[in-house]
Amino acid sequence: MGIRSVLSKPFAKYIVNQQTKWASNPIDAQNSILSEITKKAKNTAFGKDHRFTDIGDYQAFKEAVPIGDYEVIRHYVDRIKTGEEDVLWPGLPAYFAKTSGTTSGTKYIPITKESVPNHINSARNALLNYVHNSGNSKFLDGNLIFLSGSPIMTQTSGIHTGRLSGIVNHHVPAYLRSNQMPSFDTNCIEDWEDKVDRIVNETYQKNMTLISGIPPWVQMYFDKLTEKTGKPIKDIFPDFSLFVYGGVNFEPYKAKLFESIGKTIDSVETYPASEGFIAYQDTLDQEGLLLLLNTGIFYEFIPADEYFDENPTRLSIGEVKKGVNYALIINSNAGLWGYSIGDTIQFVSTDPYRVIVTGRIKHFISAFGEHVIGQEVEKAINYAAKEQNRTEITEFTVAPQVTPESGLPRHQWFIEFGEQPEDLERFATAIDHKLRELNSYYDDLITGNILERLEIIPLKKNAFIDYMRSQGKLGGQNKVPRLSNDRKIATELIKSRI
């Protein structure tokens, strides 16, 4: 065993022991964060505007700080972009994470010196939890690859600006840099297809032991490796033993990914966002991701069905319940306040607090009042795929068809199959059955003959890659929305119908 793998085990034990302490006292941990960040920011422009000096508890905080998305803080961020200090957090941010939004256009998310450890240490601790729980640390001695965006930075009034994955790349610990792939020059390539081709050429003869990235883009990497070598991944990288992913539900991609590998390997799920590293998988066998309650973020939760109300219920960690769909709100040492990151989550455990991501607050279908969410469509398609063993899903999205040429309105499921079901009709029926079971509103609409059964639209190979390329969003951290309440994506994908 190498020095990295040997030293990682006692360090992993220490990190897990520290984690157990704050996870056992979640309310105290969160109250401490709230007190710390409001005191630190009391003399900022935002702190003065919202009377931070008068905040003594969570109730006072709720009364002082409104909930909103990027548009609510945009005017503060615009002031920072001119070089003004002490706006959302003392001084200037260390970075802007530049990201695109569906309603706000380009967003500049501040990352401060104080919030950098949330991103870096949380990713490290996810791996250390795995080491501690599995006993496997050998992967640390091989080559590691993190499929990510370019680390090239621009300047915004002296503030380094770039993609989150690129920012994080600059903070990879020195002890991992010597075995990190790809090379810096390759990582800087902006064109995703050219970049993956270069990564393949740099790595196919290396001893890759850990591969990390968003599943559909990792699948693209695997496909190109197999195309070049004629071998499954297990024969190209015999010591590959750990897959780390985040950003999307792994289940729809799992069968095809593991078939490409040629064997089942361990995986670790993470929940990173530009606004903060939210949670990671802390066990090998229990559902959900451990919510990180001591890394500079104070969380709030709004029942998702109240999110668009004028005065929605706002809850702290001690008030949440299992099984309820919540919109996730963060307040942090990055200078984000009452900030809705757009995700919905559910708690699957409250001792400790573990969550699953259920979708996006603005990504749903409710063209007829059904309010179908991402979690429901993912469960339905996974159920149907397992019914027909050889079915493989490459990618999918769902949209309403309000004015069909014939028949009743319906949901249309645009699916690119790695391997198509033997019986597509039975596959559609299985999805429909499961979705009706999960969503009573949808069931009522089917029963009442307002909607007819969903329609499956198989797509040509690479349909989603072509679509993402056409939108300038191929690769990196970009993801296809699981469902839309309009036809914008559907109108483009229908061109790739088989």
Residues 377 and 123: their CA atoms lie apart, in Å, by 29
For the purposes of burial, counting CB atoms within 10 Å of the CB of 125, is it exposed (0-12), middle (13-18) or buried (19 or more)?
A: buried
Instruction: State the amino acid at position 294 in one-letter form.
Output: N
- Is there a contact between 299 and 38 (Cβ–Cβ < 8 Å)? no
Residues 214 and 197: their CA atoms lie apart, in Å, by 17
| Alpha-carbon distance values, 58 to 24, 41, 65, 311 (Å) | 20, 16, 10, 16
Exposure class string for 480-498: b at 16+ Cβ within 10 A, else e: bbbbbeebebbeebeebee
- Parse the chain into domains and list their residue ranges: 1-292, 364-496
Residues 282 and 130: their CA atoms lie apart, in Å, by 7
Among 299, 27, 249, 268, smallest CA distance to 125 is for 268
H or E stretch including 166?
A: helix 164-169
SS3 call for 284: coil
Model pLDDT, residue 146? 87
Name residue, tokens 């802007």. 96
Compute the residue count for the chain: 498
228: which 2 tokens? Answer: 């070049």
Per-block mean pLDDT, blocks of 10 residues, the chain (498 long) = 86 97 97 98 98 95 95 95 97 91 73 96 95 95 89 93 88 80 90 90 96 88 95 97 86 86 95 95 95 98 90 96 95 97 93 91 78 86 87 92 88 94 93 92 86 94 90 76 86 91
Residues 334 and 115: their CA atoms lie apart, in Å, by 5
14: which 2 tokens? Answer: 């220490």
Residues 186 and 172: their CA atoms lie apart, in Å, by 16
- Is there a contact between 267 and 250 (Cβ–Cβ < 8 Å)? yes
Among 206, 207, 177, 181, smallest CA distance to 195 is for 181
Residues 178 and 159: their CA atoms lie apart, in Å, by 28
H or E stretch including 34?
A: helix 26-40
